[in-house]
Structure formats: C-alpha cells, structure tokens
Amino acid sequence: MSQQTNQSWGGRFSEPTDAFVEKFTASVDFDRRLYHHDIRGSIAHATMLERIGVLSAEERDAIVTGLAEVEREIEAGQFPWSVKLEDVHMNIEARLTEKIGITGKKLHTGRSRNDQVATDIRLYLRDEIDVVDAELARLRSGMIELAANEADTIMPGFTHLQTAQPVTFGHHLLAWQEMLARDHERLRDCRKRVNVMPLGAAALAGTTYPIDRHVTAELLGFERPAENSLDAVSDRDFAIEFVAFASLLAMHLSRMSEELVLWTSAQFDFIDLPDRFCTGSSIMPQKKNPDVPELVRGKSGRVYGHLMSLLTLMKSQPLAYNKDNQEDKEPLFDTLDTVKGCLKAFADMVPAIEAKADNMREAARRGFSTATDLADYLVRKGVAFRDAHEIVGQSVAYGIAQKKDLAEMSLDELRQFSDTIDDDVFEVLTLEGSVAARNHIGGTAPNQVRAAAQRARDALAVLTSTAAGGH
C-alpha cells in the first residue's frame, strides 16, 4: 500500500491507494509532454481569477513567477516527476505549492482536472497541427516544383497496374499533390474545431465563481469558450477528427510509397532515390533498399489502429467525464509523432527524386499505350467507336505477334485492319503526340501540366500566407 492517501483528493478515503493501482491509474509517464500547455493554461486561469477578484495581484504574480520557475526546471530535466501525483497537472501544482506556499493551492479555484486536461490537449494539439501544417506545405511545395520540372517526361499511366495510356511524370506527381491538397484542407478545417476552450466547465457543471471564460479564451487564443459544460469535459471528437485526417494522409503517403518502391525496383527502374534515403543488405552487397517509403507505407496501419482505438474508446461513454478518457492521449501522441516523421521524410526525399526519363519512355512505348489514340483517330474519321475499338484490338493482337508497337508498324500493316487509316495516323501514335493531344485542364499535355503546377503553386501560396488559425 501507499503510505498516505492522495492529498489532492483523498480527504474522504479511509485507506491509501493500493500501490499497483497507483501505478496503473497514473498517466504522468506520458502526459508530462503537456507541461508547457498546462502551465500556459494555468497562467491564463490565474490571470482571469485576479481580474474577477478571486486572487490578489500579488497572489497572481506569485503563481505566474512560480509556474515559470517550474517550467524552467522541467526543461532543464531537473523536475521531480512523481507517479504518486498521478498526472502532469498535480505534479506541477504540487511543485508550485512547494515553491510559493499556500497561494499555490488557490490556483485550482474554479476549475477541475476534467476541464484542465481537455484544455491542455486542445492547446497541445493546436500547436502540433500548426507543425504538421508547415511540413505538409513543405512537402507539397517540393512536389509541385518537381512536377513542373518533369512536365515533359513521358511515362506509362496504369490501370490495374497494366500499361494504359502515356502520361507525364509531372502529371503523375500533381495527382499526388491533389491528394495532399485535400488533406491540407481537412487539417485546416479540423483545427477550427480544436480551437474551442473547455476551461471553465470545471468537473462537469461549471462553477459557482463569477469566472469570465471569454477573458481566458482570449488569453489562450481560443476562438470561443465551449457552449456546454457537460460536452466540454467529455468531448474527444476533435482528437478523433485529427486522427481521421491523419489516417487519410497516411493512406495517401502509403499509396505514394508503394509506387516509389515499385519504381525503384530493377523491373521498373523509373527513378533513383538518393543513398541517404535507402539502406543496404547485410548479406547481399548489391542491394539498395527503399526503406523510407517502405516504412512510411508500414506506418499507415499504426495510424489506422489509433483511429479505431479512439472511436472504440468513446463509443459507450455516458456523459460526462470518465477515467476511460485517460486512454485518449497515447494514440493521439503517437499519431502526431508518426505523421510528423512521415511528412518530414517525404518532404526531404521527394524533391531529391531523380527520374530515369529514358526508362520511363521505353516502358510507355512497349505497352501499346497509344491504342486509345488510334481508336479516337478512327472515330474522328467517321468510324463508330465500338467498331474502332475492335479494329484497334486486332491491331494490338497483330503487334503482340509481331513484337511491334503501333507506332512501329508501317502504314500498310495498319491499313490491313481499316482502310480509313492514312499517313496522318503517325501524328497520334507517337508518345509525344498522345500526351500533347490531351490539351485541356486536368489533361496530360506538358503545357497543361505546367499550368496546373502554377495553379497549385499559387493556391499553396495563398494558403500558407494565411495562418492556420485563420487570423
């Protein structure tokens, strides 16, 4: 058994907490990372309490000074964290009281750990969202610039992982960028719902003190106080929403990773990744393994798991706060760490990708990727599309047998399938002609790819010129 009951709440208990239970229920080992935001929230709360006359100016100043000293201790690695004090909040409050005496005990007036922790998490997540936002912008910027540089680099486009039609590497990269642009919008939208202040809801019903929640919200940079005290202390939708955003982002990064892994293989050999993003084999000296994209691909499952964990955590909870909610932090923290690491890896790696243009072009040439262009050509000559489809299918079958691409066949070879075909057919059978023909917004024509890259560049510039909070 512990030697005494917890001084922060043990007044009605007749025996101390079991030693195992004490460790089992403590969260300080992982929630200590909230220390800066806990102290920031406490300073704002103390400032508000002084304004409404609950604290004197001297008491407020003592609390603010003491909290600053506590923060310096933590950052210097000199803070005496204690499992007996359960969590980051009680550890900081106890240390503050040691430093400034009974005035430290007045800090908790008008609040509860329930609204305190909800506020801390929102403050912490808001700051972390801004870090994620910046890394996402950095990745998008590098991807856009690489796409603009590779606007003319022809590669095969795939459906079912089979060669379909020629595209350009720049066009493919801008498809990735579109995924990330949607993720960026979701992140910014999520931040709006994070930026609501629970502080003042107290345990669940508010407080009898004449607190001014608008003052505290303004001091902490929140958009507004939460409307309902019951919901304020028990809501974790904002954390679930962030992890849902992270799951979609992880899925997109995993799709990109899969293509990078394929493209670096000897069978594709489309790109080269710098050595600093790869590792070797302990037994096979020739190997250069794309470990960064492989690991990013693998981490998607971990993020998905955290989303399921948080959804399951909340699905059966009655109002208001329950101890279950202590389990919200580790999934959220690990999701943040994982997403930031994946984004940094990609933001560093993507601009350094080197396209092997000749290999990409040869792969596009081998797969009859201009077959649809031949069908479109026949339609423009007056052939019904279904008949054109049949003609082209016969031409491809002939090409497979003769080991010739459509562009390598003579006019006579092509005309055996349709006498509608004439000399001008070779203008559409080249890879360059194929991509250039799709000269519309969203198409593969190099000038359209460059224009799309500029639009993406401009849109990102507008987004990044506005703070994530919208101010």
Dist CA 169 CA 180 (whole Å): 17
Annotation marks residue 410 as catalytic: no
Q: What are phi and psi of 339, to 5 degrees?
A: -65, -45
CB 329 within 8 A of CB 121: yes
Q: Which of 56, 82, 265, 281 is catalytic?
A: 281
Contacts of 9 (CB under 8 A, 6+ apart): none
Closest to 263 in 3D by CA, of 243, 228, 233, 290 = 290
Q: Which of 14, 160, 410, 471 is catalytic?
A: 160
Strands (E), 236-313: 271-272
Give strand pairing partners of 355.
271
**Structural tokens at position 53:** 């006359």
Dist CA 277 CA 291 (whole Å): 7
SS3 24: helix
Annotation marks residue 281 as catalytic: yes
Dist CA 189 CA 181 (whole Å): 12
SS3 155: strand
Length of the chain: 471
CB 95 within 8 A of CB 80: yes
Contacts of 221 (CB under 8 A, 6+ apart): 126, 195, 469
Dist CA 300 CA 253 (whole Å): 8
Dist CA 324 CA 268 (whole Å): 49
List, by residue number, the catalytic residues.
160, 281
